[in-house]
């Protein structure tokens, strides 16, 4: 079973133990402040009567579910709050795979490594489907891969690691293909607040009974450690997801849900815009430097990762360690993300030292 964290930790550990200053571009942890209202709400929660410290409803506290329902334009009964987007994906994928509609999950390549990991945990068979050169959705490839055994298609938009933002028309076509083979489509939209194109459209707009949308507040509120996410399921699949959620986790953590609920209500659009603009500036600077270093790269339309390929320097773990030792920059090996980009490296721009890292890369590759 292959998934991100072990390699991720391996690289982090190597970077920390290195005999020099290393800029961490490995983790997906936002480096900016959470909303002020989140801190305030958590402090206020600590003073509440002890009854407020007991089990929330299994599907999550009502206020937060209602706020999500309004923002997302869906019925509140379709929403299950989860222990981060990770659990939301687990619940949605489990539902698709347990229906007796086949064992195969189609995953786009490059792939976020938890998806094949979860598929195998659930007894399913992951199949990697090629995407376009820039990471865009290749509808013909999905069509060619789909069969009666396909139970699930997983999409992630804005995408980790490619930064692609899928055109909604292509997502609609994929949903049509899924329908023809009795598959469900799970769309992980956790990076939806980091759309740099202004054209991102949620798969919820398709209003399809085949579509499960997942998301969370880890990235948008800079709180990956709080573990507050959600799944929005079609009516026919909500009860199964709730049952699994209850049997696995009973409920999510109430202080975290409470803090997010208040922060969601109180936080102005400017907060999200500021984070997005900060990232866009970093992307500009970083990709300019990549250009100068003669690297091939994908300029992300969304999210905060950049994939880059340096001639004669494939994205192996060995080269990642070399880059740490010789350039002082830690990225992730491309082969963590399936087969499509195993020549590449992934850099996370959630560090104020992104520009400095870019300069180090320029220097390093100009001297080789």
The residue ranges that bind a second copy (CB under 8 A) are 1, 3, 5, 27, 29-34, 39-40, 42-43, 45-47, 50-56, 58, 83-84, 86-87, 90, 114, 117-118, 121, 222-227, 243-244, 246-256, 259
Instruction: From 128, 118, 120, select the one nearest 341 (Cα to Cα).
Output: 128
- Measured from the CB atom, the residue of 271 and 365 that comes closer to a second copy is 271
Residue 124 CB, shortest distance to a second copy, in Å, is 12
Residue 82 in tokens: 């989860």
Residue 294 or 352 having the CB closest to a second copy: 352
Residues 6+ apart with CB under 8 A from 153: 105, 106, 142, 146, 174, 177, 178, 183, 184, 185, 186
In whole angstroms, the minimum distance from the beta carbon of 363 to a second copy comes to 28
Exposed / middle / buried, residue 119 (Cβ in 10 Å: 0-12, 13-18, 19+): buried
Structure letter (DSSP) for residue 199: -
**Least distance (Å) between residue 330 CB and a second copy:** 16
Residue 87 CB, nearest approach to a second copy (Å): 5
Of 69 and 121, nearer to a second copy (C-beta) is: 121
The distance of closest approach from Cβ of residue 113 to a second copy in the complex, given in angstroms and rounded to an integer, is: 10
Residue 1 CA to residue 112 CA, distance in Å, equals 13
Contact (CB, 8 A) for 348 and 305: yes
Q: How far, in Å, CA of 86 to CA of 184, rounded?
A: 18
Residue 43 or 144: the one with the smaller Cβ distance to a second copy is: 43
Min dist CB 153 to a second copy, Å, is: 19
Q: Which runs of E-coded beta strand occur in the chain? A: 23-24, 79-82, 104-109, 125-130, 150-156, 184-188, 211-216, 229-232, 296-298, 305-309, 329-330, 332-333, 345-348
Q: Which of 101, 141 has the CB closer to a second copy?
A: 101
Beta strand ranges found along 92-139 (DSSP E): 104-109, 125-130
Shortest Cβ 42–a second copy spacing (Å): 4
Distance CA(251)–CA(55), nearest Å, equals 7
Assess contact for 323 and 329: CB atoms under 8 A. Answer: yes
Question: What would the two tokens of residue 315 be?
Answer: 């994205």
Q: Smaller CB distance to a second copy: residue 218 or 287?
A: 218
Angle at the Cα of 279 (from 342 to 200), degrees rounded to 5?
80
Residue 20 CA to residue 256 CA, distance in Å, equals: 37
Minimum distance, C-beta of residue 248 to a second copy, in the bound complex (Å):
5
Cβ proximity to a second copy: between 31 and 356 the closer is 31
- Minimal distance in Å, beta carbon 319 to a second copy? 25
Between 224 and 267, name the residue whose CB sits nearer to a second copy: 224
Peptide bond into 199 cis (omega under 30): no
Smallest separation, CB 349 to a second copy (Å): 15
Q: Which residue has the tokens 């300029």?
A: 299
Q: Which is nearer to a second copy, 217 or 344 (CB)?
A: 217
Q: Which residue, 210 or 278, has its beta carbon nearer to a second copy?
A: 278
Number of Cβ within a 10 Å radius of residue 339: 12
């Amino acid at each position: 079973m292959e998934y991100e964290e072990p390699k991720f930790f391996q690289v982090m550990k190597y970077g920390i133990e290195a005999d020099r200053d290393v800029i961490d571009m490995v983790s997906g942890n936002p480096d900016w402040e959470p909303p002020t209202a989140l801190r305030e709400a958590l402090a206020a929660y600590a003073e509440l009567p002890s009854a407020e410290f007991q089990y929330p409803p299994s599907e999550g506290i009502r206020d937060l579910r209602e706020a999500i329902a309004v923002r997302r334009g869906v019925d509140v009964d379709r929403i299950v709050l989860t222990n981060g987007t990770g659990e939301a994906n687990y619940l949605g994928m489990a539902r698709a795979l347990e229906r007796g509609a086949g064992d195969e999950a189609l995953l786009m390549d490059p792939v976020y490594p938890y998806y094949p990991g979860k598929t195998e945990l659930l007894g399913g068979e992951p199949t990697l489907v090629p995407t376009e050169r820039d990471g865009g959705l290749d509808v013909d490839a999905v069509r060619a891969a789909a069969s009666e055994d396909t139970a699930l298609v997983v999409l992630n938009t804005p995408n980790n690691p490619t930064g692609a933002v899928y055109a909604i028309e292509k997502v609609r076509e994929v949903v049509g293909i899924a329908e023809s083979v009795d598959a469900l489509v799970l769309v992980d939209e956790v990076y939806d607040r980091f759309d740099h194109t202004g054209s991102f459209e949620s798969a919820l707009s398709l209003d399809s009974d085949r579509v499960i949308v997942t998301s969370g507040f880890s990235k948008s509120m800079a709180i990956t450690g709080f573990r507050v996410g959600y799944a929005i399921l079609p009516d026919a699949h909500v009860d199964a997801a709730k049952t699994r959620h209850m049997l696995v986790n009973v409920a999510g953590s109430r202080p975290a849900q409470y803090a997010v609920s208040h922060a969601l209500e109180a936080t102005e659009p400017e907060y999200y815009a500021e984070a997005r603009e900060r990232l866009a500036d970093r992307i500009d600077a970083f990709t300019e430097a990549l250009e100068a270093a003669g690297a091939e790269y994908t300029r992300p339309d969304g999210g905060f990762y950049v994939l880059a390929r340096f001639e004669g320097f494939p994205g192996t773990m060995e080269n990642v360690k070399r880059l740490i030792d010789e350039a002082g920059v830690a990225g992730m090996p491309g082969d963590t993300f399936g087969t499509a980009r195993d020549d590449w490296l992934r850099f996370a721009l959630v560090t104020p030292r992104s520009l400095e890292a870019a300069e180090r890369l320029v220097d390093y590759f100009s001297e080789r």
